């Protein structure tokens, strides 16, 4: 391989490495900042991003996925086959499909079921316990990363891509300055030699 090709490959590798480190750092920082600003799950353009921690809605929504849900509005508007996110009795958020709508006096109740479960959920869901509607948007496996980044260990590890990027940037700047120094010395020597010849 020629010297020019080696330099091109090295330069391309440098750019790719810098780009990857930068994207990872910005992505992790964005997730943490959005999470902290919203006081919990990240929220973007009015949509909340929730992490799915069980396989009850597989294969449509895989364990460890991130889903987008739309909060607000009339929580009595839902019908069969809609997928809703609701607060269970143990203060846990669950996203399941409505299999039946029950009107009981002034109350609207939803019977729900996970797509992967054999039977409907034991307790019906009061409309006031519905938090949001699932929009159909999901990104598989990213939830594992989000949960980890929100933990103490994850927040600490956020520093690693930043430090790597900082060290790598320092190395590139040092290397560039060294190359400039060599070029300047070479130019000075050429000028000196030309002056001696004259």
Domain borders along the chain are 1-40+151-185, 42-144
Answer yes or no: pTM beyond 0.85.
Answer: no
In this predicted model, what pLDDT tens digit does every residue of 163-177 receive, in sequence order?
A: 776 777 777 778 777
Return the CATH number of the domain spanning residue range 42-144.
2.10.109.10
Mean pLDDT over residues 124-144, rounded? 89
Alpha helices for the chain (secondary structure H): 3-38, 142-150, 152-157, 159-197
- pLDDT value at residue 79: 95
- pLDDT value at residue 87: 93
Q: Which residues are catalytic?
A: 54
- pLDDT value at residue 154: 62
- pLDDT value at residue 98: 96
Nearest to 180 by CA among 191, 172, 170, 169: 172
- pLDDT value at residue 2: 61
Helix axes 3-38, 142-150, angle to 10 degrees: 70
In this predicted model, what pLDDT tens digit does every residue of 15-72 receive, in sequence order?
A: 787 777 677 667 666 666 665 555 556 667 788 888 888 999 999 999 988 899 999 8
SS3 171: helix
pLDDT of residue 128 exceeding 90: yes
């Amino acid at each position: 391989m020629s010297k020019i090709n080696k330099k091109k490959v090295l330069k391309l590798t440098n750019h790719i490495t810098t780009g990857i480190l930068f994207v990872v750092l910005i992505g992790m920082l964005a997730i943490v900042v959005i999470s902290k600003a919203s006081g919990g799950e990240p929220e973007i353009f009015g949509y909340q991003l929730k992490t799915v921690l069980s396989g009850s809605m597989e294969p449509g929504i895989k364990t460890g996925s991130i889903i987008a849900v739309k909060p607000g509005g009339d929580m009595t508007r839902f019908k069969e086959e809609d997928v809703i996110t609701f607060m269970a009795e143990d203060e846990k958020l669950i996203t399941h499909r409505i299999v039946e709508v029950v009107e009981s006096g002034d109350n609207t109740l939803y019977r729900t079921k996970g797509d992967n479960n054999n039977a409907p959920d034991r307790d019906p869901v009061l409309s006031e316990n519905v938090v949001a509607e699932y929009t159909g948007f999901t990104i598989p496996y990213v939830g594992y990363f989000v949960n980890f980044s929100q933990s103490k260990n994850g927040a600490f590890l956020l520093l690693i891509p930043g430090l790597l990027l900082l060290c790598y940037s320092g190395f590139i700047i040092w290397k560039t300055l060294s190359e400039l120094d060599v070029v300047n010395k070479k130019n000075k020597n050429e000028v000196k030699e030309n002056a001696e010849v004259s």
